[in-house]
């Protein structure tokens, strides 16, 4: 007896999916050295491997996105954890969020300075506190109380990030923006074999940020969102615009209420964000097994893998759409 179209579609669906990003911006072949390209590619591959290992073993999407993010937080090629950009005062202040699509439980931290893996702190907020977001010294104190690994703030800094801050300070025309216009935020979204989605994002913010500035990454519904009824989203870009658009939630809402594909919803919301003046990108996956990304910058460091055997790493706009 032939399978129904619905049954055939279900049979072809991947059992699990994983999509990650390492930031978007002016990422063009002419601006990225072979050494940088090799380093970023190795980092994305390692993160993809860490998350895929969890999912292939039947693990939870929540564990997979955290595993992938922690690899990227330890890799100085990305603006998260070690390798995070400097604030105007010459410190590293880190933001992160994580969300469980099953229950829409979420946790986030902003402006932490001594916790090695900000995404682990975000998960602890979700699971071990009655709150969704903690900030600053209190968030670091909470992380210490939860026994999370602590480091000196200097551990996060690198000579290249210091150079970027010095360049910005020396040129007042650079104003409020990252020197190289690369939003090196990292993110991961995943679907597990049980049909549950999760999302996580981690960032050092913008070079030269002041006054405790916080972008979209730790804000649930802006830079991070997950809902089993729709999809999981992680964003990277000019955070102020992503907050105003409510990018991550807006994509999920279009999928849930209008029945749009993940790609169509992401493209529409990114176009609306660009109309406001915002640049960057998003990664998305959902219960259907669809994986998508959308960005309005020259490039986005991105990668995806699934139980179907697909494994792709891409950098530039001319790469795989």
Catalytic sites, residue numbers = 185
Structure tokens at 305: 């893998």
Element (H, E) at 162: helix 159-170
Q: How far apart are CA 33 and CA 157, in angstroms?
A: 21
C-beta of residue 216 within 8 angstroms of C-beta of residue 112 = no
CB 283 within 8 A of CB 19: yes
Spatial CB neighbours of 13, under 8 Å, sequence gap ≥ 6: 288, 289
Q: How far, in Å, CA of 7 to CA of 161, rounded?
A: 51
Secondary structure E strands in 224-298: 224-227, 231-237, 280-285, 291-295
| Per-position b or e across 274-296, b if 16+ CB within 10 A of its CB | beeebbbbbbbbbbbbbbbbbbb
CA–CA gap between residue 20 and residue 187 (Å, rounded)? 5
């Amino acid at each position: 007896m032939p399978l129904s179209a619905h049954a055939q579609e279900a049979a072809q669906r991947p059992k699990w999916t994983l999509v990650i990003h390492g930031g978007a911006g002016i990422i063009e072949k002419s601006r990225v050295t072979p050494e940088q390209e090799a380093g970023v590619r190795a980092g994305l591959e390692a993160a993809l491997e860490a998350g895929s290992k969890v999912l292939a073993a039947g693990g939870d999407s929540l564990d997979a996105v955290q595993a992938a993010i922690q690899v990227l937080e330890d890799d100085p090629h990305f603006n998260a954890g070690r390798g995070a950009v400097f604030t105007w005062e010459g410190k590293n202040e880190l933001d992160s969020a994580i969300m469980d699509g099953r229950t829409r439980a979420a946790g986030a931290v902003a402006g932490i300075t001594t916790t090695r893996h900000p995404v682990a702190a975000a998960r602890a907020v979700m699971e071990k506190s009655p709150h969704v977001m903690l900030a600053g010294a209190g968030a670091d104190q909470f992380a210490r109380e939860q026994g999370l690994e602590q480091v000196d703030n200097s551990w996060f800094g690198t000579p290249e990030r210091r150079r970027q801050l010095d360049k910005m300070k020396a040129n007042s025309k650079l104003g409020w923006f990252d020197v190289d216009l690369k939003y090196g935020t990292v993110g991961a979204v995943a679907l597990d074999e049980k049909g549950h989605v999760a999302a996580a994002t981690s960032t050092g913010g913008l070079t030269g940020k002041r006054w405790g500035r916080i972008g979209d990454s730790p804000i649930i519904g802006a830079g991070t969102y997950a809902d089993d009824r729709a999809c999981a989203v992680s964003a990277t870009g000019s955070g102020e615009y992503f907050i105003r658009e409510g990018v991550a939630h807006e994509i999920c809402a279009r999928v849930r209420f209008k029945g749009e594909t993940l790609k169509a919803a992401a493209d529409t919301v990114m176009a609306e964000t660009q109309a406001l003046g915002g640049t960057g990108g998003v990664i998305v996956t959902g219960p259907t097994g669809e994986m998508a990304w959308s960005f309005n910058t020259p490039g986005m460091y991105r990668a995806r893998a699934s139980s179907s055997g697909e494994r792709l790493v891409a950098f530039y706009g001319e790469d795989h759409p």
